[in-house]
Chains A and B, each alone.
Chain A
């Protein structure tokens, strides 16, 4: 049986140095930490309705770990924004590389054009994540269609 992208991501994290802690007692849906002993992601799976949403949250937190984009309680909001941007950028490059996005475009293309919802359905990712990826690749100078 084929693994979902969420399951694949869980596997990927499991085989990495990142420690994933399921914490259903918290109001915070997902948070990552870095300390001297490595990186942690705390995930409250119940905060999300779908595996596509869980996937995006986890991919984003993994993006923080992989890019070292962390902050502390004294970090100004503008710097935190930059860290968040770096984490999203890394998550998109890792989880929805340009070639994979283009392949989805080809498959979902119809005479009427391409629907973001068809792409979301095909890729099993939330539409907002795909929109973000398209925007990022345009900024990187990639030719979309």
Chain B
């Protein structure tokens, strides 16, 4: 069983959202998650970059999500200190929940940047 569903849930994104991101049908995502359809090599490469994990982890062949040669995972090397942001609403001190949310979004932003770079490279 592959880890696609788990990775998607961890990121809090729906099948529909991921399908839009990858430009495939939602049903295709569902079939990949159920293992009733193989993930082609090009898509696997995209998914690996998107989630920042190794292909082996995504395919369920290992428990180690770190991509080969990775010094740090995309999640480890982001510090809120380096993030520039602006929160909607009244100006107030940030709560711990706010900081966690901002960090999660900063990671997501980095994933999207990496995905875009990958797409631009393929053009």
Contact = CB atoms under 8 A, between A and B. Distances in A.
Nearest to B106: A33
A69 interface: yes
A81 B91 CA distance: 6
Nearest to B84: A70
Interface string A29-65: 1111111010010100000000000000100110010
Nearest to B89: A29
Contacts of A145: none
Contacts of A30: 88
Interface stretch (B35-43, B51-59, B63-71, B92-100): B92-100
A80 B93 CA distance: 10
A28 B98 contact: yes
A21 B84 contact: no
The bracket for how many chain A residues form the interface is: 20 to 34
Interface stretch (A71-79, A102-110, A119-127, A130-138): A71-79
Contacts of A40: 105, 109, 112
B121 to A, nearest CB: 14
> Per DSSP, are chain B's interface residues mostly helix, strand or loop, or mixed?
helix
B108 A31 contact: no
Contact of B86 (A21, A37, A70): A70
A83 B86 contact: yes
The winner among A37, A57, A60, A83 for most chain B CB atoms within 10 A is A37
Given A19-B112, A33-B83, A25 B88 contact: no
A73 B105 contact: no
Contacts of A77: 91-93
A26 interface: yes
A31 B91 contact: no
A59 to B, nearest CB: 11
Given A19-B112, A35-B109, A77-B91, A28 B84 contact: no
Given A28-B101, A73-B83, 18 more contacts: A21-B105, A21-B108, A28-B87, A28-B105, A31-B88, A33-B109, A35-B110, A40-B105, A40-B112, A60-B88, A70-B84, A70-B86, A72-B82, A72-B83, A72-B84, A72-B85, A73-B81, A77-B93
